[in-house]
Amino acid sequence: MKKWKQKAIVQKIISYLPFGQNINYLFQKYVTKGENLNDEYFLDRLNHAKKHIHHYQKISGNIFPNSCLEIGTGWYPVVPISFFLLGSETIYSVDIKMLTSKERLATTLRKFVELVDGGKINDFFNFQPERFHVIQLILSDLENHDLSQMLQLLKITYLIEDARKLSLPDNSIDLINSNNTFEHIYPVILIPILKEFRRIVKKEKGVMSHFIDMSDHFAHFDKSINIYNFLQFSDRQWNWIDNSIQPQSRIRIYDYKNIYEELNIPITELTLREGNVDELKSINLDDSFSKKSLEEIAISHCHFISDMTLTKS
């Protein structure tokens, strides 16, 4: 049996268990090795932060967002800490469950210390030295800080709530971002989330910046399949394979464009990774994907940037 199928079965079982997310973390950390904070993941998130910052500065004219919000931060809050170092005063992370911990947060902070000590942080963004000093103080007295105290010092607030009904006022957030999160949210939930983002983001110089990875995430683990493997299944078949621990919606670039258009969210800039049509042709595509060009279906990654000042009333 292929490794991706084994992982799918395990995650499907875990999804029915109490504390499924915690069990999945241990499974990925010790079995699949997919959730350790390695350099590849850390640098990938730093590059995302760099691009969020670039587009925010370009659109707003401000050096940093005073208030920012990220959905789906996960176990290691790399991007929120980047905004702390940049100078942001109010940093929200939204998720349905608290996935980070004191240990994971400390691991993330140590990565930033290595980055600064190695003289490489300015490759990504200019940081405020006094903010970095806060990180050093936390790590030097780690045993006397609990998770909530660490987050408070880092100006990070976790909102453990339904992103479709956020406890934030209208027109209150300068920058909303996500990093390979939307692909884990089915449209029936993503659409009301984006409506809520449209409500809370500032309409004057407010920005939304979202990275989406539309590849089959099982291919990240099992190199015997390509990134289009999951497009061979019907929706019914995929419903049996997919799981609530790490769901994959499979929707393509044209679906995201339609959602943005229907919600009146401007697409100010859109960066695409074209994908590999030859690899796509090796898959017996399900009929549900037959109405679009192979070039469109093959697009594997994208980055949506929205200048919310351009939102039509």
Q: What is the 3-state secondary structure (H, E, C) of 80-97?
A: HHHHHHHCCCEEEEEECC
Does 78 fall in a domain?
Answer: yes
Does 14 fall in a domain?
Answer: no
Q: Which residue has the tokens 């406890």?
A: 167
Does 288 fall in a domain?
Answer: no
Domain count, the chain: 1
The string of pLDDT tens digits covering residues 52-65 is 999 999 999 999 99
- Residue 23, pLDDT score: 57
Domain limits at 69?
37-206
Q: Answer for the pair 68, 104: CB distance below 8 angstroms, yes or no.
A: no
Token digits for 47? 């590059």
Task: Tell me how many degrees the CA angle 158-162-168 measures, rounded to the nearest 5.
Answer: 60
Does 185 fall in a domain?
Answer: yes
Q: Where does 163-302 have alpha helices with state H?
A: 187-200, 235-241, 253-262, 277-281, 294-298
- Residue 28, pLDDT score: 60
Alpha carbons 165 and 213: distance in angstroms, whole number = 25
- Residue 32, pLDDT score: 54
Helix (H, G, I), strand (E, B) or coil at 282: coil
Q: For the chain, which ranges sit under pLDDT 50? A: none
Alpha carbons 250 and 231: distance in angstroms, whole number = 7
Distances (CA, A) of 30 to 25, 134, 222, 262: 8, 32, 16, 43
Does 270 fall in a domain?
Answer: no
Helix (H, G, I), strand (E, B) or coil at 193: helix
The string of pLDDT tens digits covering residues 197-235 is 999 999 999 999 999 999 999 999 899 999 999 999 999
Q: Answer for the pair 243, 15: CB distance below 8 angstroms, yes or no.
A: yes
Alpha carbons 264 and 117: distance in angstroms, whole number = 44
DSSP state of 201: B
- Residue 33, pLDDT score: 52
Does 126 fall in a domain?
Answer: yes
CATH number for the domain spanning 150: value is 3.40.50
- Residue 134, pLDDT score: 98
Does 275 fall in a domain?
Answer: no
Q: Answer for the pair 283, 231: CB distance below 8 angstroms, yes or no.
A: yes
- Residue 194, pLDDT score: 98
Could you tell me the pTM of the whole model?
A: 0.93
**β strands within the chain, DSSP E:** 67-71, 90-95, 156-160, 175-179, 207-213, 269-273, 301-307
- Residue 31, pLDDT score: 58
- Residue 95, pLDDT score: 93
Does 202 fall in a domain?
Answer: yes
Q: Please say whether the dihedral angle defined by the alpha carbons of residues 183, 194, 210 and 175, taken in this order, is positive or negative.
A: negative
